[in-house]
Amino acid sequence: MKNFKAILTPKGERWFRSGHPWIFEDDVLSLNDAENGEIAALYNPGNVFLGWGFYSRHSRISFRFITSNPEIPDQTYWLETLQKALERRKKFLDFNQACRIVFSEADGIPGLIADWYAGHLVVQTLIPGIDRILNELYNLFYELLKPYSILIRNDFEARSLERLPRENRALYGQVPEKVRIEEGPIQYEVDLWSGQKTGAYLDQKENRLHLVSYSQSQGRVLDCFCYTGGFALHLAGKSDEIIAVDDSASALELGRRNAELNGFDNIHFLKKNIFDYLKEADEQGLKFDLVILDPPPFARKKSDVASALRGYQELNRRALRCLNPGGILSTYSCSHNITESLFLEILSHSAPKAGGKILLLEKRMQAGDHPVVLTFPESLYLKGLIIQKA
């Protein structure tokens, strides 16, 4: 194996030593002829070894840091790293449930996402370096987990930024179209081949379970961006009526089947643009005891932040206006470019326009199987606030 070597600029070294795992192209002083996706040794300008990283030729992020161990990462390293990731999730990983078992940089394997769905494994590879070692990882996953099937879900836009092909394919076994999983007392079906992310929003699992404590036996709930009904299903048993709104017909149809699966007939699924629905609900004076806002990312890039702020403010202002006094708003942002402090500022600006005082009861974040690296702000992408209208 050829030893590829990159020398960082002084600025690049300072950034590296801050603990951030990304090295940008402007911070690379020199690089011998590394091939796209190769593992390269990283050095400072004084030729002192810093660590190893995956090289991406077509990305602004030239290197994604792997490890500072002097030995180049090999199959033994990947095995030990995967074992640590699984050990970290002992309390989350149950055969019939769903769990993220590898979360990219947070688990020491940058560019790899792996999710478990009741015996079936769904894998996403975000960078060329992971594509190069995919067969090694497949063997290790099979050895450690013995899954029924392994599906590669590489149909997302970020692959195009790396000039990688977008595809879905079965890597092992017979991958079913739908898989039934358990989440607390709720069962629901997940579309592995074409569902959002790897099939479901696993990062909201703990928030869905937790929000039940805020529901009322005779309460009226509005679940916006409901997808296949995750929040609504958990709240249905403790609420009088739930309006679940999304603009995806296929997601709503699966949501209806999930409601039937759990024996709920008080969830009314509605296909409509959320902004339009909230505007109409506000103008008609509709009131709810609990409102959930779980929109897709509005700010994928820093240049999107200004328009995202307007969108979040509009959503939250309308939602607050639709709350009964004492009602609860559970609101989220999954845009890593929207920081928690900025999200709080959005809510503070929305409150006066909603015509009342609001109280912050709790801050929430992504589930524990999506661990956060404190020196890597991008890994803390899901921010949640539980607000009460006084």
CATH number where 252 lies: 3.40.50.150
Containing domain of residue 33, as a range? 4-67
pTM over 0.85: yes
206 and 164 co-located in one domain:
no
Secondary structure (3-state) at 24 = strand
pLDDT at 215: 84
Of 347, 312, 223, 224, nearest in space to 274 by CA: 224
Is residue 352 situated within a structural domain? yes
Is residue 138 situated within a structural domain? yes
144 and 224 co-located in one domain:
no
pLDDT at 173: 96
293 and 321 co-located in one domain:
yes
174 and 108 co-located in one domain:
yes
At which of 43, 67, 91 does a domain end?
67
Is residue 24 situated within a structural domain? yes
What is the C-alpha to C-alpha distance for residues 103 and 19, in angstroms, rounded to an integer? Answer: 17
Q: How many residues does the chain have?
A: 390
Is residue 192 situated within a structural domain? no
pLDDT digits (tens, 9 = 90+) for 116-134: 999 999 999 999 999 999 9
pLDDT at 356: 74
Residue ranges of the chain with pLDDT lower than 50? Answer: none
Is residue 130 situated within a structural domain? yes
pLDDT at 352: 80
Is residue 358 situated within a structural domain? yes
Q: Is 334 a catalytic residue?
A: yes
163 and 274 co-located in one domain:
no
Cite the beta strand spans of 12-126 per DSSP E. Answer: 22-24, 28-31, 39-43, 49-55, 61-67, 98-103, 112-117, 120-125
Is residue 206 situated within a structural domain? yes
pLDDT at 140: 97
Bridge-based pairing state of the strands 61-67 and 22-24: antiparallel
Neighbour-count burial for 328-350, b at 16+ CB within 10 Å, e otherwise: bbbbbbbbbbbeeebbeebbeeb
Secondary structure (3-state) at 114 = strand
Q: Which of 224, 226, 322, 334 is catalytic?
A: 334
pLDDT at 338: 87
161 and 282 co-located in one domain:
no
| CATH number of residue 25's parent domain | 2.30.130.10
pLDDT at 301: 75
**In the beta sheet, which residues pair with residue 116?**
99, 121
236 and 145 co-located in one domain:
no
Secondary structure (3-state) at 242 = strand
What is the C-alpha to C-alpha distance for residues 111 and 245, in angstroms, rounded to an integer? Answer: 33
Number of structural domains (the chain) is 3
Helix, strand, coil percentages in the chain from 3-state DSSP, rounded to 5: 35, 30, 35
231 and 267 co-located in one domain:
yes
Secondary structure (3-state) at 74 = coil
Is residue 184 situated within a structural domain? no
154 and 266 co-located in one domain:
no
pLDDT at 279: 95
| CATH number of residue 161's parent domain | 3.30.750.80
What is the C-alpha to C-alpha distance for residues 184 and 170, in angstroms, rounded to an integer? Answer: 29
* CA dihedral over 103, 109, 145, 90, signed as positive or negative: negative
At which of 67, 92, 120 does a domain end?
67
206 and 348 co-located in one domain:
yes
233 and 322 co-located in one domain:
yes
pLDDT at 109: 97
Neighbour-count burial for 207-226, b at 16+ CB within 10 Å, e otherwise: bbebbbebbbeebbbbbbbb
At which of 144, 179, 214 does a domain end?
179
Cite the beta strand spans of the chain per DSSP E. Answer: 4-8, 22-24, 28-31, 39-43, 49-55, 61-67, 98-103, 112-117, 120-125, 149-154, 167-172, 178-183, 186-191, 220-224, 241-246, 267-271, 288-293, 323-333, 358-365, 383-389
Percent of the chain clearing pLDDT 90 (strictly above): 85
314 and 373 co-located in one domain:
yes
pLDDT at 306: 86
